[in-house]
Amino acid sequence: MDIFTYKLLEKNNKKLLLMQIIACIFFTLNYGFLNTKSALIVVIFEIFRDFLYLKFKKRNNIFIICLPFYIIISIITYENIISTLSIIASVFDSYALTKKNQKVVSTKYNNIYFLVNI
């Protein structure tokens, strides 16, 4: 997805969050068609979370407030251990967004992207 790649290359944190919101909208369509309930709910929650990150300066508080919602989502949508992977990835993403200097690292083998705090 080109929007997702552009989002990862953006250095401005506000633009990064806006592009992530746009990418999440496309991911909701993707997960909706794949009928993956936990990933769909997590991505919808990520859109809400990213709006909070854009509006408020204290990102650590937002991360702490979001943790119970991740737990509730994981309890409601639990089917097997694999259904929790999208939730775990979203928690890591949420934590990485609380840090000021993010770098994006991509593995060459399978194009998995990570936010790295420096």
- Model confidence pLDDT, tens digit, residues 69-90: 999 999 998 888 888 888 888 8
Residue 60 confidence (pLDDT): 85
List C-alpha distances in Å: 75 to 17, 43, 83, 84.
27, 16, 10, 9
pLDDT grade for 105, boundaries at 50, 70 and 90: very low
The helix/strand/coil state of 41 is helix
Q: Let me know: does 53 contact 59? Beta carbons within 8 Å.
A: yes
Residue 9 confidence (pLDDT): 52
Overall average pLDDT of the 35-62 stretch: 87
Q: Is the pLDDT of residue 67 over 90?
A: yes
d(CA 68, CA 90): 13
Question: What average pLDDT does the chain have?
Answer: 76
d(CA 19, CA 24): 9
